[in-house]
Structure 1
Amino acid sequence: MGSKNKLKRFKENDTFKNVVQPTREEVQEGFALKGKWEEHFGNSNPIVLELGCGKGEYTIGLAKQNPNKNFIGIDIKGARFWRGAKTALEEGLNNVAFLRTQIELLDLLFTKDEVSEIWITFPDPQIKYKRTKHRMTNEVFLNKYKKILQPNGLVHLKTDSEFMHGYTLGLLHGLRHEIIYANHDVYKNEGSPKEVLEIQTFYENQYLEKGKAITYIQFRIN
């Protein structure tokens, strides 16, 4: 994407009512919407997060399927989620927001029990050992998710990476978290939730065209 396009999208994001872009300092000093996301949406419906949302395709798809829930796509790259934010406005999806921030700040952006579900869709698996700290299902991130999730809150991991799937399953077993459902090839094996099968991202379609299996895990953090 050219720099002119990026700048154009950044400027448009500033005008979108469904985009929130706090500075790191604002988050660390006390984020205004922490514990008050009901005010942003104007209702007390359950809040669902998509972490590393990219273009926001999953956030938009889930919001269409679940009008009685609020969805927040989170990514540091605003030029990417510009598309999702614009689509939500064009289609009148008032249960959608996008938050430009680092995932590591998550527990400073939401308060205890404020989130009902978390979706992690096609994250970078960070295969090299020295990149373990950046894997979005490592123990540090799981503890952050636990801080903001409701007691029975769900976490969903959908990925094309066999490594990420296996790493996460092993970690969940080792930490005695509750694995509700796991599937190493959702389009060949029965039983996957409809939102796993019916919503596909641009990159997911590319993976499928190459014959790559798409994996999925649904779990609770004890």
Structure 2
Amino acid sequence: MGLTHIRTPRNFVLEERIERYAAAIEGHPEAFAGRWAEACFPSMGSSTPTLSRYARVHLDLGCGKGSYLVEAARRNPGELFIGMDIEPICIVYAAQRIVEEAAPNALVIPLGAGALERVFAPGELASIALNFPTPYPKRHFAQRRTVTVDHLLVYRRLLSQDGTVTLRTDSQPLRDYALTQLDAAGYHTLWVSNDVRAEHPGIPQTEYEGRLAAQGARVYGICAAAGPEPTPEQIDRGHDAEQSLVAYLPEDLESLTYVPLGMEAAVTNLINRRRREARRAERSPR
């Protein structure tokens, strides 16, 4: 959910909050792999309807404080929405929102992307949302991104036949990098947007997204579905793609009205370097 520092109340006690909102936190998710839709469906006693499972299971990977998760669940009461995040404070806040807003078809799991294949069975997920993931702009941190070819290959194993992956980000470089990785992992794009809020206004908003709007940031996005299995050569192209997000910045850096998170210093350095090179070129004899 981006590189943000979460402010907590002065008397915030994590363990107490976990206990208070434990009903919305699943601490042993591996036990439900392959049966989330049935296991989490509410028991209706003697008035049990013909339905006995949720129609679909959705994952919000890096769910943050849960605003997107809970709103999506509210809009689709017959489907299950699961949030995952490695940040304990995010999990607690998301669980609190689930409980206080009475969203019985939502829950959270305190784990990250590395646990996905332990938690879900092949074909179990109808969609995976990647809302404003941390971009990790530097090359040597690239494998931490949730849109690398290796992560995307895991997602496609867990997605149903018509399942989708949707990325939303304030980082145009991350979005463009993700396009290279999706191609390498054998996905085809359903849409690519330079302004998700304008073109897909029905997508629920996150807290982080609300703050971005106040800063004049644009939301970039991709929605993609798995195509034919990628070849080894295709996968290698993803590994060999430029991993530094600096390479995906636009040419005219000085026209940027918003610099993607974590790239402020890089953009400033590039602008200054280009100005120095231009001055040297002007002084050089022709």
Q: Does 1:157 align with 2:163?
A: no
Q: Does 1:18 align with 2:29?
A: no
Conserved? CA contact 1:117–1:155, under 8 Å: yes
**Alpha-carbon shift at residue 152 of structure 1 (Å):** 1.2
**Alpha-carbon shift at residue 76 of structure 1 (Å):** 1.5
* 1:89 aligned partner: 99
Q: Does 1:200 align with 2:205?
A: yes
Structure 2: give runs of 5+ residues left out of the alignment.
1-7, 43-52, 228-286
Query: Could you tell me how far apart the structure 2 residues matched to 1:35 and 1:86 are?
Result: 26
Q: Which SS does the other structure have where 1:181 is aligned?
A: strand
**Alpha-carbon shift at residue 135 of structure 1 (Å):** 0.8
Percent identity over the alignment is 27
Conserved? CA contact 1:142–1:221, under 8 Å: no
**Alpha-carbon shift at residue 171 of structure 1 (Å):** 2.2
| Counterpart selection for 1:132 from 142, 152, 156 | 142
| Counterpart selection for 2:13 from 5, 13, 18 | 5
Conserved? CA contact 2:55–2:79, under 8 Å: yes
Query: Could you tell me how far apart the structure 2 residues matched to 1:147 and 1:173 are?
Result: 16
For 1:33, give the aligned amino acid.
F
Change (3 A) 1:114 1:160: same
Task: Report the TM-score, using the length of structure 1 for normalisation.
Answer: 0.86
Q: Deviations along 1:179-201, whole A, 9 cap, x unmatched?
A: 0001012235x4x2512xxx222
Paired residues in the alignment total 208
Q: Which SS does the other structure have where 1:187 is aligned?
A: helix
Query: Could you tell me how far apart the structure 1 residues matched to 2:196 and 2:127 are?
Result: 20
* 2:41 aligned partner: 41
Query: Could you tell me how far apart the structure 2 residues matched to 1:220 and 1:52 are?
Result: 20
* 1:66 aligned partner: 76
Query: Could you tell me how far apart the structure 2 residues matched to 1:44 and 1:102 are?
Result: 23
* 1:179 aligned partner: 189
Q: Which SS does the other structure have where 2:156 is aligned?
A: helix
Change (3 A) 1:54 1:111: same
* 2:109 aligned partner: 99
For 1:145, give the aligned amino acid.
Y
Q: Deviations along 1:97-135, whole A, 9 cap, x unmatched?
A: 111112111011100111111100010011111111111
Larger mean Cα displacement after TM superposition, 57-66 or 39-48 = 39-48
Task: Report the TM-score, using the length of structure 2 for normalisation.
Answer: 0.68
Q: Does 1:217 align with 2:210?
A: no
Question: Of the two, which has the highest radius of gyration?
Answer: 2
Structure 1: give runs of 5+ residues left out of the alignment.
none
Q: Which of the pair is proportionally richer in strand?
A: 1
Query: Could you tell me how far apart the structure 1 residues matched to 2:95 and 2:155 are?
Result: 24
Q: Which SS does the other structure have where 1:131 is aligned?
A: helix
Conserved? CA contact 2:67–2:97, under 8 Å: no
Q: Does 1:75 align with 2:85?
A: yes
Q: Which SS does the other structure have where 1:61 is aligned?
A: helix
**Alpha-carbon shift at residue 87 of structure 1 (Å):** 2.3
Q: Which SS does the other structure have where 1:17 is aligned?
A: helix
Change (3 A) 1:36 1:75: same
